[in-house]
Chain A
């Protein structure tokens, strides 16, 4: 059996088959990362790593590679650098991958990225020289072969590369074949888009199991009714179940004490996600969960309880 090389805590845990928890951090349009670092510190005892987003929705923020490096250094938390192919061409990305390694980054999540037209600099040139599959292929060539386009890298980078998957995508068939391409390109882990529909998730995860890539399920615990409603309204293709919205609304309306409100939201999230995750885990469809709820670090002890290790 070939020995699996691991370069990070995340890579090591996945290779050992541990059931893991990852979080997400969203640096903003600022050079001051103190709030993000504080969140990272709060979630650090519970997660194995946290993703650092790359200008989501095409709204420009501090560069994700710089933020990943600074958060790792200041919070002592391993990160997954989210890299979109939106803004940099192949040549630039190859340079960034070496730069990321030199800055101590050991995990990268390959993403297409939201189109600039959606964001706050719609006049920007959309690059998309690579796509999310060919970025994975590039990383694996640089790491495994120590080369780019056949040209040797003197000291090659060592990073694990992950892929995104969307169980909500319709038609699902196209998404499944796309995951196949990412697996062929060399994806070492998958983090899914947020899901609420258990049956659909079971169907999707059962289909992609054949690709033998560890899957971390994207979940979005909602810290308030406003967040839940906003998520339901503004995130295309994902609906928050009506009963959740009703339950969260009742907390907002009926509970006046803020502390009690928080406790209830946390408890309801726990009650929804525990059976959801447990069922998927029992069916052997999951390798961990990826919590995408940013600015909600107090939920992590409960999520840790769900994964149970």
Chain B
């Protein structure tokens, strides 16, 4: 699994930095998911360092870190370059949204005054076909239906996230959203369950998702 990111338009990033009137920037680049998505990694760190310098910013350091989203790794990596952190009045992160928030949480006691920016948009947690081809197959609803739907998620693949599809917007197995180019999720489920000889599962009338279980600010805390 990879958290898929894409690059924000450059001007949007510079606008955010200029809005905060920051000058000295520390670049923190993700060496895992963002590296795979070519939105971070060593190349990203070098690319952004150059761009920042060209626009008159001072780059205090540019590091590539494994697991920017892991508080433990981030704490260790930032401690090593604390002198550079102290010289920085902003951090630009080349990672997913988790990375940004991980850095904020790690620095909350030592450097709460430093704003953390992102150069990326976080798209989804993705399945990788190959580099440059990533697909959303799961939205992490917290109440997995896959055992009943032939292993295909209706919450993700149906444009309306219906529990009892397909809807009238399906034509020849395609979905009305996106001009009938994408497969209808419920027809994928139908075909898969047919292959498995389990259309009885397709016939089942399903209750709506229970949003009281889906909740917000979800946590998994077991120790």
Residues in A lying within 8 Å of B, measured CB to CB = 86, 90, 111-112, 114-115, 117-118, 126, 128-134, 137, 164, 166, 169-171, 173-175, 177-178, 180-181, 184-185, 193, 236-237
Q: Which residues of B are in contact with A by a Cβ distance under 8 Å?
A: 159-173, 176-178, 180, 186-187, 190-191, 194, 199, 202-209, 211
CB-defined contacts of A86 to chain B, threshold 8 Å: 160
**Which single member of B168, B205, B211 contacts A164 (CB below 8 Å)?**
B168
Known contacts A126-B160, A130-B208; A115/B169 CB under 8 A: yes
B169: chain A residues at CB < 8 Å are 112, 114-115
Contact A112 B160 (CB under 8 A): yes
The smallest C-beta distance from A221 to any residue of chain B, in angstroms, reads 21
Task: Report Cα–Cα, A166/B205, bound state, in Å.
Answer: 18
- Do the beta carbons of A114 and B176 come within 8 Å of each other? yes
A193 touches B168 (CB 8 A): yes
How far, in whole Å, are A138 and B80 apart by their CA atoms in the complex? 59
Which residues of chain A have C-beta atoms less than 8 A from B211's C-beta?
129
Q: How many angstroms between the C-alpha atoms of A118 and B177 in the bound complex?
A: 7
Contact of A134 among B176, B203, B208 (CB under 8 A): B208
Task: Check A128/B162 contact, CB under 8 A, given A115-B169, A180-B203.
Answer: yes
Residues of B within 8 A of A180 (CB): 203
Docked complex Cα distance between A149 and B203 (Å): 23
A237: chain B residues at CB < 8 Å are 171-172
Determine if A178 and B164 form an interchain contact, defined as CB atoms under 8 angstroms apart. Answer: yes
Q: Quick check: B160 and A133 within 8 Å, CB to CB?
A: no
State whether B164 touches A181 (Cβ < 8 A).
yes
Identify the closest chain A residue to B186 (Cβ).
A174
Residue in chain A with minimal CB distance to B191: A171
Known pairs A115-B160, A174-B187, A181-B205; A131 contacts B172 (CB<8 A):
no
Interfacial chain B residues near A129, Cβ < 8 Å: 208-209, 211
Q: Pick from A115, A117, A133, A175: contact of B164, CB below 8 A.
A: A133
